[in-house]
Chain A
Amino acid sequence: GQQLNQSPQSMFIQEGEDVSMNCTSSSIFNTWLWYKQDPGEGPVLLIALYKAGELTSNGRLTAQFGITRKDSFLNISASIPSDVGIYFCAGSTGTASKLTFGTGTRLQVTL
């Protein structure tokens, strides 16, 4: 099935550093979502974006819905060890419709 292109695939950063990852699609989406998955668990929603150009924050996380509606980015500021995990972007074309997921960014944080 279709997947969104997410980059980078993996990141190794030091505690306290800022992180940026993005997601691009050839299709337009009406909603962009960012999830985090810990080992052995299902993905957990971090941020939801509903309008093109929207910039939303959730604590140390900031995400933006691209103007073209074909991309989104997620920033994490001042990373901490518990930020370790896999981050997925996802796009939706309608209310509660199926999500198309990105390929994931694996984040590792060193002390």
Chain B
Amino acid sequence: GAGVSQSPSNKVTEKGKDVELRCDPISGHTALYWYRQSLGQGLEFLIYFQGNSAPDKSGLPSDRFSAERTGGSVSTLTIQRTQQEDSAVYLCASSPTEYSYTFGSGTRLTVV
């Protein structure tokens, strides 16, 4: 597609449940990133995929968070046993080999 697509746009889940967030990057972009944005805050790096290299997971806040990227394209961010502090907007971005990212519109996750 023309841009980075994320789904769902909004997700409300009960504390303790697992959630999956999806990102469809721009076709041909080799790099894919997940960031988290808490209310009124900047963006916090979570994980980065580049081609076939091992992902950089250094930003994942706990082992409840994981992500995969299948076939070098679509990525899924999974949060297990969600907690209220996981509530945030989760943003995905993709990038060609140059520096500039293109962000999706994000998934707003609310844990109740």
Contacts and interface: CB of A to CB of B under 8 A. Distances in A.
Nearest to A106: B40
Contacts of B59: 1, 98
A96 B105 contact: no
Interface stretch (B11-19, B64-72, B77-85, B93-101): B93-101
Contacts of A103: 41-42
Given A98-B48, A102-B42, A103-B41, A42 B96 contact: no
A19 to B, nearest CB: 19
A102 B45 CA distance: 12
Contacts of B104: 42
A63 interface: no
Interface stretch (A44-52, A53-61, A71-79): A44-52
Nearest to B9: A40
Contacts of B106: 41-42
Contacts of A98: 33, 45, 48, 56, 59
Interface of A: 1, 3-4, 6, 31, 33, 40-45, 48, 50, 88, 90, 92, 95-104
